[in-house]
Structure 1
Amino acid sequence: MNVATGPVVAVPAAMADLPALARVHAASFAPDQQWDAPALETLLAMPGVALGVAMAQAGGRQVVAGFIMVRTVLDEAEILTLAVDPAFRRRGLARALLSWMVDMAAGQGAARLFLEVGVDNTAALALYRDAGFDGVGRRRGYYPDGSDAQVMARDVTPARDAESGAWPTL
């Protein structure tokens, strides 16, 4: 696949994106953790759920390269999933999606963000720590394979400093 490394923009998703999102999710998670298009549609229909999509150039066209799904309830938001197509990893897409999500959650009145991540997912743990998340708990046997999840949280602040573009240190 001819993959361009140009700028990535996270945009709100449309229902027409669901098959592509399911493909990205399947490429990113173990079979017992994958969400298909109907599952994504069910989640998207829930109150307070938002979906952001990162688009990138591949083969001369714009393609879905990654996405993030977040649910906001009152003053708390939770990342339900974050997935980046393996062909587009290590190009800043996850950071772009996190930035979009933080700004969107702040706009919806969230004061605190939460997520669960596999304790053995070192790349995701590093990404979230770099984005200002701290470990706040552990869910034993959280995943279908019996593995634990690290619960992480951070306060909502602008995702990046508007002037410098730097990620905040919390």
Structure 2
Amino acid sequence: MPVTVRPASEADLSALTRLDLTYPTDRVLALDRAGEPPEHTFALRWRNHVPAPMAVYATYTIDRLRQALSTTDLALVAEVDGEVAGLLILVVPEWTDAAEITDLAIDIAFRRLGAARVLVEAAADWARGRGYRALWVEPRTDSHAAISFYGSLGFRVSGFNDRLYSNADHEDGKPTVYMHLELR
């Protein structure tokens, strides 16, 4: 099935709120730390999800999407056979020459058809054409599929923050992981 990409518009809001963004997860990327400051050694390792495999549910609201469309640098929709299949939102923070993918969401019925890849490639072309040096993303560390997907496109882990979110609901203290793709 061919995937087409086009700019997102107000007319897409209703279809985007109906996307089923559920994903199963059985692993979490955890941070292991050894040593004493300042000579810490860190390792990111996949661990079985505690307490058990689970499904993560997410949806968009019209208000959130409307705000995103009015404040982002780029919002793209992927269509498969004329049906809205996914969304990519990209912002360029003023303090950097790298563009951030803040959202990449594909409806569960359209996964593994290339929609996410086509969206990221379109975003990379857009950013490269404007002289940005990299794309970066903060994938959820409980989404093995997302991290593996970005890795398959050439994104590499470029940093982490184990204090950005409280993670009080996770015994294994998920870190925030940053991945980047060089565009030059």
Aligned positions, number = 145
Q: CA deviation at 1:73?
A: 3.6
Equivalent of residue 67 in structure 1, options 87, 95, 99: 87
- Give the secondary structure class of the aligned counterpart of 1:35: coil
Which TM-score applies when normalising by structure 2? 0.70
User: Any gaps of 5 or more consecutive residues in structure 1?
Assistant: 1-5, 158-170
Instruction: Name whichever structure is richer in strand by fraction.
Output: 2
For the pair 1:152 / 2:182, whether they are aligned, the reply is no
Matching residue of 1:132: 154
2:6 is paired with a residue whose SS is strand
Structure 1 residues 68-126: Cα deviation after superposition (integer angstroms, max 9, x where no partner): 11012452100011011100111111111111111111223311111101222111111
Name 1:142's counterpart in structure 2: 165
Task: Find 1:105's aligned residue among 127, 138, 145.
Answer: 127
Partner of 1:85: 107
Provide TM-score, normalisation by structure 1.
0.75
Larger radius of gyration: 2
Aligned residue type for 2:135: L
Residue 127 of structure 1 and its aligned partner are, at CA, apart by 0.8
Structure 1 residues 103-112 or 87-96, which shifts more?
103-112
List 4+ stretches of structure 1 deviating above 6 A: none
Distance in 1 (alpha carbons) for counterparts of 2:127 and 2:152: 18
* 1:84–1:148 Cα change, 3 Å: same
Partner of 2:33: none
Tell me the residue number matched to 2:13: 18
Task: Please report how far the alpha carbon of residue 143 of structure 1 lies from its aligned counterpart in structure 2 after TM superposition.
Answer: 7.8
1:37 has 2:62 as partner: yes
In structure 2, relative to structure 1, the CA distance for the partners of 1:138 and 1:43 (3 Å cut) is: same
Secondary structure of 2:160's aligned partner: strand
- Residue aligned with 1:53, SS: strand
Summarize the Cα distance change of 1:52–1:148 in structure 2 as closer, same or farther, 3 Å threshold: same
Tell me, in whole angstroms, the C-alpha distance in 2 between the residues paired with 1:54 and 1:9.
6
**How far is the alpha carbon of 1:38 from its aligned partner?**
0.8
Task: Check conservation: 2:158, 2:179, Cα contact below 8 A.
Answer: yes
Contact 2:157 2:179 in 1 (8 A): yes
Query: Taking structure 1 as reference, are residues 39 and 80 closer, same or farther at Cα in structure 2, changes over 3 Å only?
Result: same
Secondary structure in structure 2 of the residue aligned to 1:152: strand
| Structure with greater contact order relative to length (CA < 8 Å, sep ≥ 6) | 2
Amino acid of the residue matched to residue 146 of structure 2? A
